[in-house]
Amino acid sequence: MANRLVVAGLGYSGGAIAQEALAAGFSVTGTARDPARAAPPPGVAVVAFAEAARVIREATHLVVTAAPGEGGDPVLAAHADAIAQAPALRWIGYLSTTGIYGDRGGASVDEATAPAPGQERSKRRLAAEQAWRAAAAGRALDLFRVGGIYGPGRSSLDEVRAGTARRVLKPGHAFSRIHRDDIALAVVAAARRPDGVRVLHLVDDEAAASADMVAEAARLLGVAPPPALLFEDAAPRMSPMALSFWSENRVVTNAATKAALGIQWRCPTYREGLAAILAAGG
């Protein structure tokens, strides 16, 4: 039987997943709110999200990238019946967030750590995970807890070029990140070797300070890094969303995930990630 993947949410990460899956031999269809405005990879079909029930019922694999709102998970809200009625559907992948672990004061969390979300958006993600556990109904399910996403067009390189980068110093504070193309690598690897219900961490091998990534981007571009700015001085000019990210500090590990999927990251740290973006013209 041909592997038929539906990517519910053909956005930044969803597009990369679709491209990776197509290269791996999947037949891929992505959903978009407005297909006319979508830019799918060549060979990937696009359907309107509201009209995706038929392709979901025919799918063997389903990836969900859409974030939940106050009303819950939008894919389940619109297409729970189609998912339940999909006779060949054998694997579901849900992109969640490492934010569900809340603030750990810089301590490490692994795939077996119990969630303790502090932010409302993280509480919604955990509720969505639980809803997908129920909706999977015995099918293989992977809950991908994703760190900070960067990649072409969305990295410190762009901020340094634009003059908007800030090298904020907060000693002891690190962020766990993942290159967009490594999200695609892991998701497709998981789809190809399903194994019950798993929690998988999509983070690279080195949690790092925000200031270090900005400094590396400046070095790669051959320009002076922006001046160092203490967090206490930067905070009054940060948005509420930015402050919420800085309010939580944890190191997310990935050893169990890489072992389960049999992979190594293409970009093990932000250094390789930024270099790859630059080399590709990004």
Q: Which residues pair with 197 in a beta bridge?
A: 141
- Cβ proximity of 15 and 39 under 8 Å: yes
Query: Residue 120 to residues 108, 114, 261: CA-CA distances in angstroms?
Result: 22, 17, 31
pLDDT of residue 185: 98
Q: Is residue 134 left, alpha or beta, with left meaning phi > 0 and alpha meaning psi from -120 to 50?
A: alpha
Instruction: Please identify which residue in the block is written with the tokens 């990935």.
Output: 254
pTM, 2 dp = 0.96
| The two structure tokens encoding residue 41 | 């990879």
| 68 confidence band (pLDDT: 50, 70, 90) | very high
In the chain the domains, ranked by start, together with CATH numbers, are 4-150+179-204+251-265 (3.40.50.720)
Specify the pLDDT at position 1: 62
Q: Distance between CA atoms of 129 and 132, rounded to whole angstroms?
A: 5
Please name the residue that has the structure tokens 């390789």.
272
Q: What is the mean pLDDT of residues 213-241?
A: 96
Quick one: how far is CA 149 from the chain centroid? 6
Structure tokens at 237: 């000019």
- Closest to 205 in 3D by CA, of 251, 152, 155, 159: 251
Which amino acid is it at 29?
T
Burial class (CB in 10 A: 0-12, 13-18, 19+), 101: buried
Q: Are 200 and 182 in contact (CB under 8 A)?
A: no
Q: Percentage of the chain surpassing pLDDT 70? A: 100
- Tell which residue, 14, 46, 16, 19, has the closest CA to residue 30: 46
CA 46 → CA 30, 43, 81, 111, distances in Å?
5, 10, 21, 33
**What sign has the CA pseudo-torsion 20, 75, 243, 101?**
negative
Residue with tokens 């619109």: 78
Segment 83-88 shows an average pLDDT of 97
Q: Tell me which amino acid residue 112 is.
A: A
Average per-residue pLDDT in the chain?
Answer: 97
- Bridge partners (DSSP) of residue 92 are 62, 141
**Taking 70 as the threshold, does the pLDDT of residue 64 lie above it?**
yes
Give residue 282's pLDDT.
83
End-to-end CA separation in angstroms for the chain:
38
Residue 108's contacts (CB-CB under 8 Å, 6 or more residues apart) are: 250, 251, 252, 253
Predicted confidence at residue 157, as pLDDT, reads 98
Closest by CA position to 8, among listed 72, 86, 134, 95: 95
Residue 190: what pLDDT?
98
